[in-house]
Each structure stands twice: as C-alpha cells, then as structure tokens.
Structure 1
Amino acid sequence: MMRREVLTGWGRYPSKPCLVTAPRTESEVSTLARHGGVIARGNGRAYGDSALGGAATLDMRRMNRILSFDPATGVLVAEAGLLLADIITTFLPRGWFPYVTPGTKFVSLGGAIASDVHGKNHHCDGAFGSFVEWVDLVGADGKMRRLSRSDNDPLFEWTLGGMGLTGVILRAAIRLRPVESGWIRQRTIVAPNLRAAMAGFEEAQDATYSVAWIDCLATGCALGRSLIMLGEHARVEEVPDAFRASPLSTPTKKKRTVPFDAPALALNRYSVKAFNALYWRKGQGGPEEVLIDWDSYFYPLDAILGWNRIYGRRGFVQFQCALPLDRAEAGLIALLTATARAGQGSFLAVLKRFGAQDSRFSFPMEGFTLALDFPANPKTFALLDQLDRITLAHGGRFYLAKDARLSASTFHEADPRAAQYRDLRRGAGLDHAFASAQSQRLLL
C-alpha cells in the first residue's frame, strides 16, 4: 500500500513529498521495481536526498532478517533492512564486529553497501564493500540476480557505492571481524596545526583506527589544530578487572535526547568557537591513552538521540570531500581558511586519512577526507559553493551519501566516473527504473 509522506535525509534538508511503500517480500519488490522510478530507503541516515524516490520510495526496514551465519568464516547473510546496530547486538556477544562501520550504527546493511561507507580504518582495511561477498539485486525487469565478487561482474562493482541506482538490494553476505572484547584502546595525539595533524596520521599508519576532530575556526599558526584518536580492539587481558569475566560486555549507557529544534541562532560563530576552544582544552588535558567501550569510540553521536535537531527546523547540510594525497595539504589549508574567514564554523568537523581504493563509483581515494556540518541557510550555501570550487581546484571529489545540494556540473567535473555510470544506467534501462531526487539533480 502506497502512502504519501514528506521525507528528508538525516540532515532534514531538503524535504520532498514522496509516495512510500514498505515491501515485505521479494515478489513485492519485484512488482514495484517494474513500475519504474523507485529507490530503496533503509533507515534514512543518508544526509541529503539520495533516498527520496523519484516516483516511489521503498522503505526496506521490514526486510531485516538475519538468514545465516558461519562461525568458521565470519560470513553473515542478512536482508538489506537489517541495521548495523542489530548486527552488533547479535554478534558482538559471540566475538564478532563489523569490519567497517561509519559514524553511526543506525545505518542499514543495504544503505552501507549502496554508499560503500567508510570508517576510521580505511587506510588499512578499505571501505565496506571490501567485505561484501555477494548481493541479491532486483533489476529493472523485476528479476533477482545474485552478484558476487568471484564472478567479476561489473554490475556488482557498480552496486558498491552506486547509491541504489543499479537496483534494489534484497540481501547480502558480508564478513565480520573476530574480536576478543567490546573495548577499544584509544590513544590521543594532540596536533597543534594542520601539518602536525597530517604528519600524525602518516606516523600512525599501523593503527587499525584513526580519526581526528579538527578545529575549523582556528587561524594563523593554529590553523587545523586537531585531536587525533587512534584505536585498537582490546585483548582480553587489557579489559578492566570488573569486566574481565565477560570481556565482550560493556556498560549500558543512558541515552540523551534533543527534545526540540534548537533556535536558529543557537549555532553561530561565537558558540561554535567557544565549543571548539573548550573541546581543544579538554583534549589537551586528558590522558594520552584510555580504554573505552566500543560504542563511545565508534558512535559518540548515537548516544544523543535526535542530535540533528540542534541545527533547528531548517536542518543542516554536510560538506565532505576527498583530496588526493599529493594535493591534500594545500586543499585543506584553503578549505579551512575559507571556512574560518566566512565565520560559518562547523560544530562537527572530522578529518580522516584514506588508503588507496580502485573502485567503479565509490567515494574514497588515497589522501584525506574532510567533513564539515553547517546549518542550512543562505550564508552556508554561499560558503559551500566556495568550498566546491576549492575542492575542484585540488583534484578532489564529493561524498554522495552526505550530499544535499551539489550542482550536476560540479559533480561531473569532480568525478569523470559519473559519465560512465550515467551511460551504463541508460544503456541498461536503469535510469528509468531506479531514480532518486539526488540522481535527478545530478543527472545520473
């Protein structure tokens, strides 16, 4: 049954009236795919309009069963609507954890594959797709095909990072990582400026996980000052004594909730600057190495339910680019300088080091990625246009899972693979069958 609903992404910008249906079976998905203009939607954690359907949006959350698990290989087979949170809840007590996870555990399996999400370990493990064995995909003709890595099928490769535009992912097989505990050894590196931060990442290439909070309003000799958090899965003997008997268990944390939309003026140059200064001082004064639970290390924002409401009713947009290694420093200096000069400080600014990745359409490239959040308003959009130009000038590209407003010309200039993807979709009739507000905006 179709219902009309106004949908947004996690950024709450833009919004779009959509026809929504929630299939429960493969046959329902097949029928809907043949109607054309559909897009699958998981838990709505893509930030922009990539999961807002052209003609119809398929809410896949009812197709969320765990189908099988092989403890000898760590291979999990599950339906696309299953959340990473459910995978962790089920399998961490048995000693398994996702190999790659984004900054929220509330993303669906299908969404993680369609976006080929990356985590804090891309420099050594690659993106989510590196651990996908096969996917069951419903195509434009309504038929299901199993696409696997071993078959060397180009459609499998385009599906990883293809933003749901090759078909509807029904189920998939992924590999999980064996772990001894639910704890992370976190070591913090204090970097007084951008050059020191980049050097810190390079010196920590052997660390499994690395991510930096970056002060996007610092200027002068402090431009790009950062706190780099390195992480390793703790061994049993490193677990706190109180939890040594059950090392895969961690304390249950109380969830906090943002109960209302913050006033539009709450996040401004002065409040963000004060927050950044406080966070910087706190990071400098803390212990260099601590043992923290997995949830606190990987998903600090998940502890605040509805945190996207802090940006107010208009919502927010995220800018995330990847810059090639040889041009990253100059590009990051230009991006941070422009952001600080505009006074549109980002409340959440993250820097990560990417490893090499050769893929059909996925976002990562070897270099650095910078993510910045801004309230959705005219000043922000003017700044983002400037950041787009800086990214293009330094050979960078943009993350579609975070995009809500790129122009088609900017996107295609940044990523020549987009034209190849568009031609593939047109040649196979996929452009009429699978469409999102984003694909229409970007002429994919």
Structure 2
Amino acid sequence: MGNDEVQAKRHDLKTQRSHQVQAFRSQLHEPRTFDELHQFAAEDTTGFVTVDFDSWRQSPTELSELGFTYVPPLAQLDPPQKLDTEDWSAEHHHTRAVARTFLQSHSIRVKGRPRGDRDRESYWYGPSKFVEPDEVEEEALKIIRSFKSEAGTPCLVGFSIGYELNVLFVTYPRLRDEFSTIVDLQLVVRDLCCMDTYPSLRNTLIAFGLGCMKPRDPLRRLCAGNDAVRIALLLVNMLRLPTPPRPSMPTIENLGPEGKKREYSWRWNRAFRSRQFWNGGRPMPKELFPYTVMLMPRAEMGHKRLEFPFSAEGLSNYFKQYSPIASGISSQAKSIRYSKPRFGYLSFGSLESLDRFVEVVNKKVIEGRLWVVFSQYDPSIRPACSLEEHHRNIREDQMAQKEVKQEQRQEQRQNKQEVFDDAADEDIGGSIDTMFAS
C-alpha cells in the first residue's frame, strides 16, 4: 500500500471523526444566542458546570490539568449584588473569597505531566488533586456526579469549547454522557455584541465588568482551574442581565486605565516636551533625541581623564555654535575612583549636524581640553518629532506585533489540531496498514 493511499485513508478517518464530533454536538441541546441562554437558565433546575482543559505539551490528546466549577441554577443562585470591578478591584483576595462563597471549584492535575509552574499562575479557588493518568476519567466523573442533582444532568459550559468537546469524545468518552446540554459562551457573546470576530476571554471579562478577574500578568500561562472560575463568573454576570443591552467589546482604544497601562510599557512626563537639560544621563527617550553624541574630556597631553567641567546647561552653552537641542551629563559614579561625572551628551536636530560636530570636535583641543566624541546614533531607532508621534509609533508597532502573534497563535492552533487528529488516528492507521499488508 502506497504512502498516498495511507494518507488518503487517514484523511477520510479524520473527516469521519470530525463528522462524528459534530453529530455528537448536534444531539445535545445548545443555546447559541443570549435570548436562548436566558430562556434555558430560567427553566433550568440542574445548574451549570464550567470546564477548561490544559493540554500536555508532549501530546495535545492528553491533558495536564482539568478545571471544573459548578454554578447553581438561576433560582438558587445567591451571588453578591454586583459582580463588577467597582466592588472587587480594591482587593483581589476579596474577589477570591466572594467567589468561594457561592461557587464550587475543583482542579485535577495529572502526575508526570508538569505544567511549567514557574511561568504559570497558581490555583486559588478550591481543592486541587493529583492523580495518575489512567485515573483522570474516574476522578472527573466523581466531581461531575457530585454536582448532579435529582432533577437531571447539569449543563456543560465553556469558552470556545471545541477543544474540550474533542477531548471528551476521543480521550474521555464516559464524561460526555454526563451532559445533555452545552453552552459555548464565546458564541453567545458574539451574538450579544453583534461581532464579526470571536472575542477573547480577557476582553469579554472587561466588557462585562470583570476586569479584575482577567490574568494579571500577560506573560504567565493560565491555570485551567482559574479559567473555569472566570467562565463561571462571566456566566453569572450574563444571566443577571435583564435584557440584552449590547455591551461594546473593549479594544485598545477603550480598555480604560488598566488597558492603557498594558499598552505602554512606560510613560514620559509632560514636562519632557520642553525639557532640554538632563542631569543624570543622556536626553531621553532616544526616539525624540536620536542624534546624540557622548563627550569625554581628557588632558591635553596624555590620556588622563578629567572631571567633567560643566553642568548640562553649561555644556549646551559651551557648544552653542553647533545648535544643540538638548544636553545631559552622566550621573555620579558610586566608586571612589570615579566619584564625579565624566561624560556629557549633546543632541542635535539632524544627522548632518551630528556628523559635522563629530568631524570638527572629535580629538580636538579646545581651551586646554582634548575632547573625545562618540556618536550614539542608532539607525534602528524610529525618530519622532513629538511625544504624540512617538506614542503613535509605539501603538502602531504594538498593533503590528499583535497581528503577528495572532497569526502565530492561529498557526499553532492549526498545527495542534493536526497533531491531535494524527495522534487520535494513529492506532486506526496502524490497523489499516496491517490489514492491507496481510
């Protein structure tokens, strides 16, 4: 049997399994709009189970952590009066305490499958249990059945729940029989906000007044148990909306103070607009003063360094015939040997002015001092004429980086799905090879 025939058979099997997952999903009741979700919640007597799974790095078909959170039925739900940042943002520890009062949350971590805890947030909201890989399904069944009431099975809720459904269908088939209804909050939010794209969980939390619940450090990997709680709180806030008001999803322009803090890694004082003299280093930021030189005075005879003879303003006046736009002197060194400033900086309005200054002054003796000049110009720096332009350039660069990262994540998700399909069909493909070989 040729390789092309094997690949064709595996492709057919993948397509067949994909259709099976879709058929399994179609058999379940799935509210996809805000009105359908509200109607279902008003009639529901079993509650909701929000889930989030973290895949193991070595195999996307296997999990390293599972998070489950139980939300009681709407009639029994007794959360605080307001689940928003006004009440919760003051102390994040208070947020956790409030969430524990009306939510039941559990986390399952698999032994031998490290999550990379050094760059991952901790689990805050409930018990976490370590189990062997072959005991995951049984332990998850115990947790889910502890949520079940006499009225029936609870509703399965997730945010972009496609991966979780694939795992339930392929790896843990006994779990899928515990639910008769599923809700993908990403689809509901997309319908509620009339969006063309699928919103992220972070932006959705902010839009629904749960900005304090979003991950604090964007560089740390998320925890499945915490994400299950975030999804549960988002569900609670959505169920408490009396009518569909159509909230606007946040963007970089309207994320508020926290979003602006993430957007800019630093902020410059407004006084920098007209600042000319810097006592403690070179003129900053470099984008506003790209054409800068460093000056070092030496003795006329020999290489002995001299104490810098000027202040920042005095240095600018001393070389005023070259029309510098800003000047600075180095901060005092902490060592005894170099206890005084020994460097100066001059910034010019153009590269031509900088080159002319270096050509005229470098290694020239002026009033008994030998001046050594080093150009600090970096061609990779993007010059800006004002702080507004500089901030605009930063925003453009960040948006470009964001688009690149989104493309990379999309490619990673596609590769992950391909690996998932290959691993799920590996045994079947081997059976096909054996069958044709015989």
TM-score over 0.5 for the pair: no
Q: TM-score normalised to the size of structure 1?
A: 0.24
Q: Taking CA–CA contacts closer than 8 Å with sequence separation of 6 or more, which of the two structures ends up with the larger relative contact order?
A: 1
Q: By percentage of residues, which structure has more helix?
A: 2
Higher strand share: 1
